Structure 1
């Protein structure tokens, strides 16, 4: 739901009633992941998407029905369903969707409003909703903040709320969206409950070192992928807003000095485009010892070998060097800055998602690498049965 927070925030401000359908679970080759949402207001206006088109019509109708009767429902769509040809996912996947009415008198109204407002401001928060459990609790929600405080209640029992808030906070700490089960003991709910937790954290950082022509295109590509992009260069004549109008931050400083003082985390991507030893060596010596997601450096293969030699001389170990993506980018035959930016971001996505970078045609590898290949095969087998 947080993926349409900006539009939903406007709907709240305008006093609109609406119903929101959220993907809470997927199996196989589903077109969109958990958290994807479609909302429909009382005038029939729709925003967002849950399947990229496969089942949008059916989900739209369920939202309209939820607005009329005020009931939260859970529905499953998939190629193996008996109505597959009417609303099925022809890509062979299965999605489960939670449809919740959000009206002024709804129990979740204020919780959803606070969550959407926080997401629209770019603040970290987790929305925990009952996905499976006693029927009267379906769709009930808590909004959990990074400090562990929370708004709302699942069933009025503080014990269940505290347990749910702790589980949601743990997922928020790592920026994960997905389901978590809370056992019956301690919850007062026979059979326990399953929560769908949607986390919203500030966007990951991409730091581009070297205000060169290739960096201009990489900034645009990084923004397109949802990164908060910083450009850092020690030369003020190059690191200018005129050259990098789309960068979130421009920093004039020696790259290694800036990297030592700025905040990074396990989602941060570092792209070194300077290919100049006086910048690269102290910068990479620092970068390769940080717990970041990706460290890549531009340069020819000769530059790469020379840079590795210099890094070993300053004490960088082979294990640390193995983290370095150099020369940066996938082999696309790129020539222009835009093609090079595509090559670099393609490698970043592959590293993040576990992709191989080989063409899908004839490869036989899973299209979605965060999907269990065995389950994908089973889902297809059931569909064919």
Structure 2
């Protein structure tokens, strides 16, 4: 749901009533992962998607029903081989949807008193949407399976441990859920968590969907060349906060990189030393000049970042490896280097090369092979991680 936070936050500010349908579980070749959402307001306006088109109509109708009833509902959609026009996923997978109505605050006292819990849930949801819209770190946790009285209950957790809302039920449920949520938030992950309704391994199981909203991941592009300009555009398209760094001020200019979030004139290794990067960051070294590359990669390959790639020919790569060995890097550290950078697409132009690099970054992030899907037996959609029971 937080992937459409900007629009939903505006709906909240405009005091619109709406229902949001969120993918909470997938099985098989499902088109969208948990967290994907479709929202429908009281006027029938829709935004987002839960299936890429397969079951949007049926989910739209569920949202309208939830708006009318004021109660959350969970529904499963799977493949129907009896009727090609039946509601189902033609890709053969199954998705579970949770539909949650969100009513504007400020209604009459009788209505507010009748569902004060839902008002608290709406406050948690509104807080999560506002944080996501501002690019702040926060996580929204909702009960997506368990005792009917808890379905849809929500709490908002911030990095400092502040909690808004409640899941209801046992007094320890919120405490345990908040701890699990904060751990996922620190990792920037969206996942399901299964715990006991009393906050331990015991009791009726409760499944939670934790949606983390964190600032955009960093992409650092070193080398202000034409390939870098194309990569900046692709990086922004993929949702990265993109920085370009080059020691040559004549090349590192806003006119050459209008899409970059940040342009830095500095020696690459010195700029890297000044940055506080998390495990989602990707580093793309396009300078293919040893005086820049070696001190930069000596540092980069020792950082706990997601991806380090370097441009250059195979001969350049072999020479670079020897220089890095001489600088003291181990074979394990050198194994992290993606060089020559990118997947083999036969790329020639800067745009094609940027696509090749971006494809490798996505494959590395999602666990893909980079192989053609035609004739392959690997899954098209990989299941998201699921967290087991906690003590």
Fold-level similarity (TM above 0.5)? yes
1:119-130 aligned within 5 A: 119-130=132-143
Question: Is 1:144–1:150's contact at 8 Å kept on the other side of the alignment?
Answer: yes
Deviations 1:320-353 (A, max 9, x none): 1111111101111111000000011111111111
1:171 aligns with 2:184: yes
Q: Which moved more, 1:149-158 or 1:352-361?
A: 149-158
Tell me: CA distance 1:354–1:156, structure 2 relative to 1, closer, same or farther (3 Å).
Answer: closer
* TM-score w.r.t. length of structure 2: 0.91
Aligned residues of 1:18 and 1:41 also touching (Cα < 8 A): yes
Kindly tell me: are residues 156 and 134 of structure 1, through their superposed partners in 2, closer, same or farther at Cα, counting changes over 3 Å?
A: closer
CA displacement at 1:185 relative to structure 2:
4.2
In the TM superposition, what whole-angstrom CA distance separates every residue of 1:54-97 from its partner, at most 9, and x where no partner exists? 00000000000001011100000011597874110000111000
1:47 and 2:35 aligned: no
Give the whole-Å Cα distance in 1 for the aligned partners of 2:347 and 2:176: 51
The 5 Å alignment of 1:131-150 reads 131-150=144-163
Query: Is 1:57–2:57 an aligned residue pair?
Result: yes
User: Structure 2 CA distance, aligned partners of 1:331 and 1:101?
Assistant: 47
2:226 aligned with 1:213, yes or no? yes
After the TM superposition, list the runs of 4 or more consecutive aligned residues in structure 1 that deviate by more than 6 angstroms: 81-84
Moved more, 308-317 or 270-279: 308-317
Q: Provide the C-alpha distance between the structure 1 equivalents of 2:181 and 2:89, rounded to a whole number of angstroms.
A: 30
Aligned partner of 1:312 in structure 2 is: 325
Moved more, 306-315 or 221-230: 306-315
- Displacement, 1:237? 1.1
Instruction: Decide whether the 8 Å contact of 1:28 with 1:371 is kept in 2.
Output: no
Partners of 1:144 and 1:93 lie apart in 2 by 32
Give 1:269's match in structure 2, choosing from 282, 305, 327.
Answer: 282
Would you say the 8 A contact 1:54–1:89 is kept in 2? yes
**Number of aligned residue pairs:** 372
Does 1:98 pair with 2:98? Answer: yes
| Superposed displacement of residue 161, structure 1 | 1.4
**TM score, norm. by length of structure 1:** 0.93
Aligned to 2:17: 17
Mapping of residues 320-339 of structure 1, within 5 Å: 320-339=333-352
CA distance in 2, matches of 1:127, 1:212: 41
Which stretches in structure 1 are left out of the alignment for 5+ residues?
373-385
Q: Work out whether residues 25 and 178 of structure 1, in 8 Å CA contact, stay in contact via their aligned partners in 2.
A: no
Q: Would the alpha carbon gap of residues 43 and 369 (structure 1) be closer, same or farther in structure 2, given more than 3 Å must change?
A: closer
Aligned mates of 1:325, 1:236 — CA distance in 2: 27
SS in 2 for 1:87: coil
Q: How does 1:202-281 map to 2 (within 5 A)?
A: 202-281=215-294
Displacement of 1:184 after TM fit? 3.9
CA contact (8 A) 1:27 1:371 kept: no
In structure 1, how many angstroms separate the alpha carbons of the residues matched to 2:265 and 2:176?
A: 46
Helix, strand or coil: the match of 1:347?
A: helix
Contact 2:80 2:90 in 1 (8 A): no
Q: Distance in 1 between matches of 2:175 and 2:329?
A: 46
* TM superposition shift of 1:4: 0.8
State whether residues 50 and 56 of structure 1, in contact with CA within 8 Å, keep that contact through their aligned partners in structure 2: yes
Q: Secondary structure at the match of 1:295?
A: strand
What is the SS of the residue equivalent to 2:86?
helix
The separation in 2 between residues aligned to 1:81 and 1:37, in whole angstroms, is 26
Query: Structure 1 residues 84, 164: closer, same or farther in 2, change over 3 A?
Result: farther
Computed over aligned residues only, the root mean square deviation of the Cα atoms, in angstroms, reads 1.8
For residues 241-281 of structure 1, give each alpha carbon's deviation from its aligned partner in whole angstroms, at most 9, with x where no partner exists: 11111111111111011111101121110000000010001
- The reply to whether residue 356 of structure 1 matches residue 356 of structure 2 is no
1:7-42 CA deviation, whole Å, 9 max, x = no partner? 111111111000000001101111111100011111
Q: Which runs of 5+ in 2 are unaligned?
A: 106-111, 113-117, 386-391
| 1:180 CA displacement | 0.9
Question: What whole-Å deviation, never above 9, does each CA across 1:126-157 have from its counterpart, x for those lacking one?
Answer: 10111112212110100010111110111175
Q: Could you say if the C-alpha distance between residues 371 and 364 of structure 1 is closer, same or farther in structure 2, counting changes exceeding 3 Å?
A: farther
TM-superposed deviation, 1:159: 2.2
